[in-house]
Amino acid sequence: MASRYHDVYAGWQRDPEGFWADAARDIDWFKPWDRVFDASQGVYGRWFTGAECNTCYNAVDRHLAGGRADQVALIHDSTITGTKRSFTYAELKREVIALASAIRNQGVGKGDRVIIYMPMVAEAAIAMLACARLGAVHSVVFGGFAAKELATRIDDAKPKLIISASCGLEPGRVVAYKPLLDGAVDLARHKPDRCLILQRPQQACDLIQGRDVDYADIVARERAAGANVDCVPVAATDPLYVLYTSGTTGQPKGVVRDNGGHMVALKWSMENEFGVKPGEAFWAASDVGWVVGHSYIVYAPLLHGCTSILYEGKPVGTPDAGAFWRVIAEHGVVALFTAPTAFRAIKKEDPQGALIPNYDLSKFRTLFLAGERADPETIKWAERNLKVPVIDHWWQTETGSPISQNPMGLGQLPVKYGSPCVPMPGYDVQVLDDAGHAVPRGTLGNVVVRLPLPPGCLPTLWNADQRFRDAYLAEFPGYYKTADAGYIDHDGYLFIMARTDDIINVAGHRLSTGGMEEVVAEHPDVAECAVIGIADEMKGQVPCGFVVLNAGVARDAASIEREVIGLVREKIGPVAAFKTVLAVKRLPKTRSGKILRGTMQKIADKEAWAMPATIDDPAILDEITVALHERGIGV
Ligand code: COA
Ligand code: AMP
């Protein structure tokens, strides 16, 4: 069957507002919009102005009226603890109401911020929905971040309440969350009024009298009292959440998501982009701390009336490389969304896919990959072994849903390996040179999106309109800068090749090398440093640090390297996967003093490189090459 994509995209181009007004009919509104798009509001305009709605109502309550009360809404499958828990839509509503009532009794109301710092437990999703029900703004912080990262987010979001847990579970290791939480609250200038702590049986924690409240106790009390909490009407343009993502410094950017446009975009994407029907099981194997978790573990599947899987475990080692197939088979998953790195890990453990035939994957229709460039080898391996379409799609925390994709619901387009396919309605994607001129098809350049961004994209950064303008809109007037470099081929397919800033992508996790440099530079023996991302077979990229020690430091360089590694783990978190540091005599620089990180990266990745014309001292690159080769890098 021919794809409807080209017609649908052309329809959006002809009448963008009509397109989104039609899509918005799939959402229940308390009050309709005055304007579909009001260019006079916000930084570049706002969607569905004047409308009132509630995201929790659309994700939960309306499915009860729509006949889904007894359908499973959410399954927590923990391969680490060997436990499974499921909630029908009716049960999910009861849980969300009990928690919403509990947090309302702690003084949280519309517009107040709540930080959620939790492992992959059902309560993390319930907490997000409870905030949405009250019109409170949640900010989920990934559990793999350390206390300092959490503290930075506390100071920016200024939450009244933090919801956390006693521990998270990594393979073979219990991660105590409470010391990280307490450390963050100590470090932060802003202090939350209360912390709600979910005690997990694997490791309980002490509660601080007067500040901490036991999650299970308080929710049980609300349940017993038969608490009710109606969904609070909020403006479509009110924030649903703030999600911090790496910027070019250690200060993360608070990406704001609104309520109305977000629901419209996600609901549309489930049917048309992911080709999933209400009632089917959808699994995004990510973490609620990332945008993929927000959009495709929690909000999109629930808005669409699907069953969503919240998985606590890894693709390998928990217990083996068949873990993903077990989950698909057991829960009748029709579509899995994960990062290519997960498949590289599986491929490495089980190169022939020998574990796959042990599971009934008859319901499984499509594999979606995003978060980093999907390398053709991994796609082909998955196609060969799973015998389903493997779809690469490209998006960012800022957009909240795919910018480009092979739209399965509209009819699959031919796959081009290495390309996340074509722009979705809402996105007029262009490639510009550094001076802002359009480049010919097939030419690499800055990938940008013509304003306005579609519903669901960030309207601004939290309390930082000017930073939003500076970071995204200033360089190419009239466009949003994605900070990705790529090209569009003659068939209109996009190819996303690299970042144009210092962000690196480690196992699908977005991290700032600038942020890591800030931490490395704190070591008392370090005079200067550089952190680059180098190619890694499994994680895509990993960071590699270079340090120049202060004159007169007599200590053993290897000990200092170990301390620097420890410092990054302590200040940013284990998720940075910062495990390589090289003490070098000097760093290569231009005559104006800019560190030649790009050239160092090319040497480490064994890519062709040319001596930069502006280099101060070419001999330093030889020293760097020798230092890398001594560690077996770039050999
Ligand atoms: N809380 C505490 N620590 C965490 C954590 C969490 N929520 N998540 C990860 N970590 C720790 C890990 O234990 C690991 O610590 P270690 O250095 O002591 O081993 C470190 O952070 C790096 O974790 P991770 O990136 O998960 O790497 P890994 O080597 O443990 O596993 C993969 C590699 C490929 C299996 C894993 O990265 C993976 O499953 N990736 C899927 C991609 C994904 O979910 N991307 C999200 C965006 S779609
Ligand atoms: P995040 O905000 O964490 O989702 O990271 C977004 C960044 O990940 C993008 O700007 C890209 O650099 C990269 N990325 C995400 N998906 C893809 C993809 N399908 N292909 C290439 N790069 C991708």
- The full DSSP string for 189-207 is SS--SEEEEEPBTTB--PP
Atom of ligand 2 nearest to the CA of 482: 10
Q: Which protein residues touch ligand 1 with a CB less than 6 Å away?
A: 119, 143-144, 168, 170, 175, 286-287, 290, 292, 314-316, 339, 341-342, 345, 371, 507-509, 538, 574-575, 577
pLDDT for residue 304: 98
pLDDT for residue 246: 85
Residue of minimum CA distance from atom 23 in ligand 2:
372
Q: How far is the CA of 482 from the centre of ligand 2 (A)?
A: 10
> Is residue 300 assigned to a domain?
yes
Q: What is the pLDDT of residues 210-266, one digit of tens each?
A: 999 999 999 999 999 999 999 999 999 999 999 999 876 668 899 999 999 999 999
- Least distant ligand from the CA of 533: 2
Q: Are residues 451 and 518 in the same domain?
A: no
> Is residue 620 assigned to a domain?
yes
In which domain, by residue range, is 422 found?
Answer: 5-313+393-486
> Is residue 579 assigned to a domain?
yes
> Is residue 372 assigned to a domain?
no
> Is residue 289 assigned to a domain?
yes
Q: Are residues 278 and 164 in the same domain?
A: yes
pLDDT for residue 593: 87
| DSSP label at residue 615 | B
Mutating to test ligand 2, I would choose from 142, 286, 396 the residue with most ligand atoms within 8 A of its C-beta, which is 396
Say how far apart CA 380 and CA 378 lie, in whole Å: 5
- Kind and range of the H or E element at 603? helix 597-604
> Is residue 251 assigned to a domain?
yes
In the block, tokens 């040497």 appear at 603
pLDDT for residue 335: 98
For 119-214, where are the alpha helices, taking DSSP H only?
122-134, 147-157, 178-187
> Is residue 374 assigned to a domain?
no
Q: What does residue 19 show for φ and ψ, rounded to 5 degrees? A: -60, -50
Question: pLDDT at residue 613 above 90?
Answer: no
Q: How far is the CA of 372 from the centre of ligand 2 (A)?
A: 5
pLDDT for residue 251: 83
Encode 65-92: b = buried (16+ Cβ within 10 Å), e = exposed: eeebeebbbbbbbbbbeeeeebbbbebb
In the chain, the amino acid numbered 79 is T
Say how far apart CA 359 and CA 363 lie, in whole Å: 11
Atom of ligand 1 nearest to the CA of 579: 17
- Least distant ligand from the CA of 481: 2
Mutating to test ligand 2, I would choose from 394, 429, 503 the residue with most ligand atoms within 8 A of its C-beta, which is 394
Where a domain ends, among 433, 456, 486?
A: 486
Q: Are residues 523 and 482 in the same domain?
A: no
Q: How far is the CA of 388 from the centre of ligand 1 (A)?
A: 26
Q: What is the pLDDT of residues 528-565, one digit of tens each?
A: 999 999 999 999 999 999 999 999 999 999 999 999 99
Q: Which protein residues touch ligand 2 with a CB less than 6 Å away?
A: 245, 291, 370-374, 392-397, 420, 482, 484, 496, 499, 505, 510
Q: Are residues 289 and 192 in the same domain?
A: yes
Q: How far is the CA of 328 from the centre of ligand 1 (A)?
A: 21
Question: pLDDT at residue 577 above 80?
Answer: yes
Where a domain ends, among 422, 457, 486?
A: 486
Q: Are residues 434 and 515 in the same domain?
A: no
Q: Are residues 561 and 475 in the same domain?
A: no
Q: Are residues 480 and 514 in the same domain?
A: no
Q: How far is the CA of 484 from the centre of ligand 2 (A)?
A: 8
Confidence of residue 343 (pLDDT cuts 50, 70, 90): very high
pTM of the predicted model as reported, rounded to 2 decimal places = 0.95
Q: Are residues 576 and 518 in the same domain?
A: yes
Q: Are residues 196 and 86 in the same domain?
A: yes
Q: How far is the CA of 313 from the centre of ligand 1 (A)?
A: 9
pLDDT for residue 592: 85
Whichever domain contains 615, its CATH number is 3.30.300.30
Instruction: Please give the C-alpha separations between residue 568 and each of 168, 449, 533, 544, 613, in angstroms, as whole numbers.
Output: 20, 34, 15, 12, 33
Could you tell me if 149 and 115 are in contact, meaning their C-beta atoms sit under 8 angstroms apart? Answer: no
What the block records as the tokens of 619 is 């001999």
Mutating to test ligand 1, I would choose from 142, 296, 314, 372 the residue with most ligand atoms within 8 A of its C-beta, which is 314
Q: Are residues 208 and 277 in the same domain?
A: yes
Instruction: Give the total number of structural domains in the chain.
Output: 2
Q: What is the pLDDT of residues 72-111, one digit of tens each?
A: 999 999 999 999 999 999 999 999 999 999 999 999 999 9
Where a domain ends, among 438, 457, 486?
A: 486
Whichever domain contains 229, its CATH number is 3.40.50.12780
Q: Are residues 154 and 222 in the same domain?
A: yes
Mutating to test ligand 1, I would choose from 310, 575, 579 the residue with most ligand atoms within 8 A of its C-beta, which is 575
Q: Are residues 430 and 516 in the same domain?
A: no
Atom of ligand 1 nearest to the CA of 285: 44
Say how far apart CA 614 and CA 596 lie, in whole Å: 10
Residue of minimum CA distance from atom 31 in ligand 1:
314
> Is residue 584 assigned to a domain?
yes
Q: What is the pLDDT of residues 23-37, one digit of tens each?
A: 999 999 999 999 999
Atom of ligand 1 nearest to the CA of 289: 7
